[in-house]
């Protein structure tokens, strides 16, 4: 037995020794055959010395016309945010509602290896459940992630810790998920297809926390927005990949009584007898450096403050105003317990920091864009899992200066001598820019528009220097209360331009104050509810989004009484109109500025009229929860509605001769005055007779017939106002005749709109048409000759035609 074992051991050892003999050198032919068997190329053959590379989140390479991502395996399966923006647009794209910098999509994505490919999928956090629960399997199976692109692995890096993939096809194809053209835009401009021969990647760069790609796309289009003879629509897209934190920030629950931008999830792991929708506010993560000092009520700096860098392209004279606009929010963060929580800095020069770039996700910026766009925007990028804001770029478009200059002149010029010029003093325009930046920073902090804020202040208080300089024009800068247009000549020292208010302090404290000991979003809720309860019943702390039915949540409005505010405003416009030609005159130039300002004057008039229209059939909305007394919706009173109708008949539907000074209308156009006035009056008439408004009046009349302003009463008041000349056989001017025709046509349109439902709206509209027909028929013989007689006969024929058609 021992002999056999010894023989076996010696035999195997000799075989092992034989196997360790040096192998013969592999021939070049054998090397070539081995290379053909591998689906991957050697790294140095793919990424040659000629490659232009950047290193950051992961490496990017350009080799000739080919672009590569070198994706580390440690980033596979990590959540990333892919944000698509339009970097450069053709003139007129989207009818003025799309700008350079406009976001077209934001999606959570992941890279993952599947065999010899890297898959890029678009993940969703709209539906969630804890992975420890059985239902988690169903949530995953019923929310299968769409595959955006499958990249072939071309090579591995030298230490085999990353895969190299070519990305040309992803950025040079018409991939809907990253396209800048919506279905509506494609239809509008008759976009046929992407021309790949005129589509290219123009830039690719990597930073520590993000990847940036620019690709120029050219489409064949039947009706492009500009340069139509080219049949071409070109734009540049910006794609940004952001690596999200492995552990999401602790979210804060949303409450509709305090306005915030939000992210939402449907939690299928809820104990409730249904899926539970959870909504979190969007906010930056602020954690105090010294939590003990913070808990004692001391002001403490955050671990990571919010820092905005001012674009070097900003005109030097405006830089201090931009810095002030950012740092105005320090007061609000101090109320939340943080000092130096938000800071503005000048961007470093190339000499100071050659690696600094506004595209680096570590840096939020305020950019100054040379563009004719008259706007400013405050977008931000947030983690859909928690609502954490990752970075933000505020954009000021150069020509927005023009908007504020014009509105300042028109809305405050009657009582404010500094506004009566096209060359607004620098300190005045700087103050306006400062407040615009503050407004956009507010958006980037998570705050939406709060259109109810202006309604908290009594109208007459806005004529007080003491009040306006302490409280501003509205309780928040997030309202569209730009100027104090109610202050009258002689109201000395009043504030003209908006500023931060008490609601801003309240909202930032509610959203950002660190709550010690609260280890989950649910654990914070009792504290958050108490903060709201502490302000219960105080109009300074109410929130309301813009809507078409609530008189207390209107855009561009001031004060708590639309009739009184618009009365003051129209009195001021009547002072501005005769001076407009003088204030806009520039020696040696034509009347282009006068024409522009006059057009905007009509727009301002329309806004003031619209605020009053909203009272009619209006419903106040106050957000409440079920354990609060009172109603969410309360109709405006009969008295307020009747007062508003009187205002409309006397100031909106009467002929506005004060808007027709000769030194304006005879210098800007040979014709069109009649149609211009008809257009603006007809717009308000149609607004008043909007179908949804009439339905609300019917609802209210059904609920409270004794106290409501009935639809039939409103229509009768309108008819007696619009046709008031007819019973007395008075002259009816051309402007009035136009409005009367529009009234008849709108009543017919209402009947057509209601045709399928056949509600009381149709019955009331028909009755009004019949009364108008009878009135015109009886009155026409009294007008012996002339256009008024013909007009009334035409009205009779028109009503007959419309009723027959119906």
State how many domains the chain has: 3
The two structure tokens encoding residue 793: 């006969």
Give me the torsion for CA of 287, 293, 295, 301, rounded to 10°.
-30
Question: How far is the C-alpha of 385 from the C-alpha of 521, rounded, in Å?
Answer: 13
Per the domain annotation, does 631 fall within a domain? yes
Orientation angle between helical segments 734-753 and 760-779, nearest 10 degrees: 150
Strand ranges (DSSP E) for 355-511? 364-369, 376-377, 380-382, 389-397
Q: Which of 224, 243, 262 is the last residue of a domain?
A: 243
Per the domain annotation, does 594 fall within a domain? no
Q: Which residue has the tokens 């958006």?
A: 443
Q: Which domain holds residue 225?
A: 45-243
The two structure tokens encoding residue 575: 């002072």
Per the domain annotation, does 25 fall within a domain? no
**DSSP states of 645-683 as a string?**
HHHIIIIISS--GGG--HHHHHHH-SS-HHHHHHHHHHH
Same domain for 579 and 615: no
Per the domain annotation, does 599 fall within a domain? no
Q: How many other C-beta atoms are found inside a 10 Å radius of the C-beta of residue 562?
A: 30
The kind and range of the H/E element at 685 are helix 673-688
Per the domain annotation, does 506 fall within a domain? yes
Residue 500 Cα distances to 306, 332, 336, 433, 477, angstroms: 18, 9, 15, 14, 5
Q: Give the CA angle between residues 684, 687, 690 to the nearest 5°.
A: 155
Same domain for 355 and 239: no
Give me the torsion for CA of 169, 175, 178, 180, rounded to 10°.
110
Same domain for 206 and 152: yes
Per the domain annotation, does 656 fall within a domain? yes
Per the domain annotation, does 34 fall within a domain? no
Question: How far is the C-alpha of 104 from the C-alpha of 86, rounded, in Å?
Answer: 7
pLDDT at site 374: 79
Question: How far is the C-alpha of 651 from the C-alpha of 488, rounded, in Å?
Answer: 18
Q: What are phi and psi of 590, to 5 degrees?
A: -85, -150
Same domain for 531 and 575: yes
Per the domain annotation, does 739 fall within a domain? yes
Same domain for 722 and 670: yes
CA 601 from centre of chain:
25
Mean pLDDT by 10 residues, the chain (806 residues): 43 40 53 68 94 95 96 95 89 74 88 95 70 55 78 95 96 92 91 94 93 94 89 93 94 95 75 70 97 96 96 92 97 97 94 87 87 80 93 86 93 97 94 95 96 97 98 96 96 97 98 95 95 94 92 95 98 97 94 95 96 97 90 96 98 95 93 92 97 95 93 97 94 95 96 89 95 95 89 95 82
Question: How far is the C-alpha of 448 from the C-alpha of 550, rounded, in Å?
Answer: 17
pLDDT at site 10: 41
Same domain for 227 and 128: yes
Same domain for 579 and 623: no
Report the relative pairing of strands 342-346 and 306-310 from DSSP bridges.
parallel
Same domain for 297 and 185: no
Same domain for 232 and 328: no
Same domain for 555 and 640: no
Closest-CA residue to 283 (of 324, 246, 332): 332
Same domain for 236 and 334: no
Same domain for 393 and 309: yes
Closest-CA residue to 508 (of 452, 569, 456, 438): 438
């Amino acid at each position: 037995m021992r002999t056999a074992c010894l023989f076996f051991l010696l035999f195997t050892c000799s075989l092992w020794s034989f196997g360790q003999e040096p192998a013969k050198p592999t021939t070049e032919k054998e090397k070539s055959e081995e290379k053909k068997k591998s689906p991957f190329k050697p790294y140095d053959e793919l990424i040659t010395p000629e490659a232009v590379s950047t290193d950051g989140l992961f490496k990017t390479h350009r080799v000739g016309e080919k672009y590569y991502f070198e994706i580390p395996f440690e980033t596979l399966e990590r959540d990333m945010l892919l944000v698509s923006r339009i970097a450069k647009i053709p003139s007129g794209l989207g009818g003025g509602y799309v700008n350079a910098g406009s976001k077209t999509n934001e999606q959570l994505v992941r890279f993952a290896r599947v065999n010899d490919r890297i898959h890029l999928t678009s993940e969703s956090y709209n539906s969630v459940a804890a992975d420890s629960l059985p239902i988690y399997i169903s949530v995953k199976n019923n929310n299968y992630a769409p595959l955006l692109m499958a990249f072939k692995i071309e090579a591995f890096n030298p230490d085999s810790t990353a895969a190299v993939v070519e990305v040309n096809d992803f950025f040079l194809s018409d991939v809907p998920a990253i396209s800048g053209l919506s279905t509506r835009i494609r239809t509008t401009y008759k976009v046929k297809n992407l021309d790949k021969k005129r589509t290219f990647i123009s830039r690719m760069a990597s930073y520590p926390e993000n990847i940036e790609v620019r690709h120029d796309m050219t489409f064949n289009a039947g009706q492009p927005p500009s340069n139509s003879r080219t049949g071409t629509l070109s734009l540049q897209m910006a794609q940004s990949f952001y690596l999200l934190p492995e552990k999401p920030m602790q979210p804060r629950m949303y409450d509709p009584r305090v306005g915030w931008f939000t992210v939402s999830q449907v939690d299928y792991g809820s104990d409730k007898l249904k899926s539970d929708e959870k909504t979190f506010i969007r906010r930056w993560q602020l954690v105090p450096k010294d939590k003990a000092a913070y808990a004692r009520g001391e002001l403490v700096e955050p671990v990571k403050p919010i820092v905005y860098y001012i674009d070097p392209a900003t005109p030097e004279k405006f830089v201090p105003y931009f810095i002030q606009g950012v740092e105005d929010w320090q007061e609000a963060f101090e109320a939340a317990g943080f000092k130096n929580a938000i800071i503005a800095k000048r961007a470093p020069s190339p000499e100071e920091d050659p690696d600094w770039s506004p595209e680096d996700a570590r840096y939020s910026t305020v950019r100054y864009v040379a563009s004719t766009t008259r706007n400013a925007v405050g977008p931000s990028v947030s983690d859909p899992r928690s609502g954490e804001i990752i970075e933000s770029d505020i954009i000021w478009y150069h020509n927005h200066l023009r908007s504020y200059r014009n509105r300042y002149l028109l809305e405050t010029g009657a009582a404010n001598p500094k506004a009566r010029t096209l060359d607004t003093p620098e300190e005045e325009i700087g103050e306006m820019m400062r407040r615009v930046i503050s407004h956009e920073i507010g958006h980037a902090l998570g705050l939406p528009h709060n259109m109810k804020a202006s309604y908290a202040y009594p109208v007459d208080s806005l004529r007080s220097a003491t009040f306006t300089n302490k409280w501003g024009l509205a309780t928040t800068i997030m309202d569209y209360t730009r100027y104090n247009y109610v202050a009258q000549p002689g109201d000395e020292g009043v504030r003209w331009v908006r500023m931060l208010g008490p609601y801003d302090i309240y909202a930032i404290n509610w959203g950002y104050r660190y709550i010690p000991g609260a280890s989950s979003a649910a654990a914070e809720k009792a504290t958050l509810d108490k903060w709201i309860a502490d302000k219960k019943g105080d109009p300074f702390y109410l929130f309301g989004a813009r809507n078409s039915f609530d008189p207390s949540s209107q855009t561009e409005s001031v004060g708590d009484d639309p009739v009184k505010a618009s009365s003051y405003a129209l009195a001021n416009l009547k002072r501005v109109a005769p001076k407009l030609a003088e204030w806009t005159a520039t020696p040696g130039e034509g009347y282009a500025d006068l024409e522009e300002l006059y057009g905007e004057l009509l727009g301002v008039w329309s806004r003031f009229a619209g605020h009053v229209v909203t009272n009619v059939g209006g419903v106040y909305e106050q957000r409440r929860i079920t354990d609060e007394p009172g109603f969410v919706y309360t109709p405006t009173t009969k008295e307020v509605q009747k007062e508003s109708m009187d205002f409309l008949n006397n100031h909106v539907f009467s002929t506005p001769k004060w808007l027709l000074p000769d030194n304006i209308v005879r210098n800007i156009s040979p014709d069109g005055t009649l149609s211009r006035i008809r257009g603006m009056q007809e717009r308000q008439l149609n607004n008043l007779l909007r179908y949804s408004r009439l339905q609300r009046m019917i609802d209210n009349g059904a609920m409270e017939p004794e106290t409501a302003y009935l639809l039939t009463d409103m229509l009768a008041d309108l008819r007696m106002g619009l046709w008031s000349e007819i019973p007395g056989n008075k002259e009816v001017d051309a402007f009035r005749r136009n409005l009367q025709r529009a009234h008849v046509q709108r009543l017919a349109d209402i009947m057509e709109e209601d045709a399928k439902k056949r509600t009381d709206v149709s019955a009331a509209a028909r009755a009004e048409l019949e009364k108008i027909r009878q009135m015109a028929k009886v009155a026409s013989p009294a007008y012996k000759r002339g256009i008024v007689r013909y007009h009334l006969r035409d009205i009779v024929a028109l009503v007959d035609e419309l009723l027959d058609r119906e």
